Structure 1
Amino acid sequence: MSLSIVLLFFLNACICVKACEVGWVQFKTNCYMFSQTTSTWGEAESICNAFHSKLAEPMTNEEAEFLISHSQNQAGEFWLGISDIIEEDRWIYSSNQQPILVNKFHPSQPNGYTGSGCVAVWKSFHGLWADEPCSRHYGFICQKPPESPGNIIG
């Protein structure tokens, strides 16, 4: 009797485990998708929203280092969900307009002043951040929480 209760509890726990969809990479409590296409920052934000996600917003040094490291295995630059579009030199997360908690700008950055209001992981800076004109076409990183197994297709 007690074995069946333990087994039932174990099966229930296994069913509730959350995971990332195919094509997404899990790190801690989030899933990330490194795009294979390029777009402007605004288009990237819309594409991520279509996937029920947002442009990646690193909230910890560990998360920022993961994005930097993983981006180095990819081709090109990647947009993050950080900008100073609303107020010059006030770098905020695009989803909540709160000031960034992590700063991984390359020592020579930000340097664009009013012409460069969006942040990209920059390959030639070994993944450190650069401020870039939002109209440039780069890859992008989407972020969302893992899905429950019943929601995963594939």
Structure 2
Amino acid sequence: MSFFSILLCLGVYICAKGCEIGWIRLHTKCYMFSHTTASWAEAESICSAFHSILAEPKSTEESKFLISHSENEGRLSSQPNEHTSANCVILWKAFHGLWADEPCGKHYNFICETLHQPDGDVIG
């Protein structure tokens, strides 16, 4: 195994430690970036099936992290805001992670989030 391969494997292990396979960790949360599109309600159901919620970034750092790991332009996120006719929010890569209101029925890729589960130490 080459040195690069070892570093790559180690990097993947460290990033995902405490998260399910295919999820990416930032601080206390794990994220799953969809490769398919869904409406807000469908995305919410899919996240729920993974015992998670649609991502709700609470800081600029978290928004930048989500955008930097997004392959597509828009990602459904958070809950409907119910203030306009476009009641769901999306993170737009082109707008540097700022929010945009979109109709809830439109299909976008989405991000699920859950709290990361620290590995338990066995004593004794």
The interval holding the TM-score normalised by the smaller chain is 0.7 to 0.9
Is the 1:68–1:128 Cα contact (8 Å) retained in structure 2? no
Code of the residue aligned with 1:19 in structure 2: it is G
SS at match of 1:33: strand
Q: Where do 5+ consecutive residues of structure 2 fail to align?
A: 1-16
Structure 1 unpaired stretches of 5+ = 1-17, 89-112
Question: What is the correspondence of 1:36-47 to structure 2 with a 5 Å cutoff?
Answer: 36-47=35-46
Q: Which residue of 2 aligns with 1:83?
A: 80
Query: 2-side partners of 1:122 and 1:50: how far apart?
Result: 25
**Computing the radius of gyration over CA atoms, which structure comes out larger, 1 or 2?**
1
1:79-122: per-residue Cα shift (whole Å, max 9, x none)? 0013213xx2xxxxxxxxxxxxxxxxxxxxxxxx32x1101112
- Name the structure 1 match of 2:5: none
Partner of 2:69, secondary structure, is: helix
Distance 1:57 1:127 in 2: 12
- Aligned with residue 108 of structure 2, among 134, 138, 141: 138
Could you say what secondary structure the match of 2:25 adopts? strand
Is residue 27 from structure 1 mapped to residue 26 from structure 2 by the alignment?
A: yes
SS in 2 for 1:120: strand
Q: CA deviation at 1:148?
A: 5.1
Alignment correspondent of 2:52 = 53
- Sequence identity of aligned pairs in percent? 54
Q: Give the distance between the partners of 1:148 and 1:62, measured in 2 at CA.
A: 22
Higher RCO (Cα < 8 Å, 6 or more apart): 1
Instruction: Determine the structure 1 residue equivalent to 2:91.
Output: 121
